[in-house]
Amino acid sequence: MSGAVVFAGTRVPVQTLLDYLEEGDTLDHFLEDFPTVSREHAVAVLELAKQSVFAQADSPG
């Protein structure tokens, strides 16, 4: 996928989930459109993103 980060075992870019959410779609809508992505994988990606945001907010400077 041209170096894009994808959900394990799929060809669905993680960026697609973020784009859906940015446009106001729900996680359920994303999962309906991309049934090869499990809810567990999608939630795990969102948790990692959340941890990354908070880690950056907590770092000095």
| Domain boundaries of the chain, sorted by first residue | 14-58
Token pair 């994988």 is found at: 41
Q: Which residue has the higher pLDDT, 18 or 3?
A: 18
pTM of the entire predicted model: 0.83
Q: What pLDDT score does 15 carry?
A: 96
Q: What pLDDT score does 1 carry?
A: 56
Phi-psi region at 9: left, alpha or beta (left = phi > 0; alpha = psi -120 to 50): left
Note the pLDDT tens digit of each residue in 9-51: 999 999 999 999 999 999 999 999 999 999 999 999 999 999 9
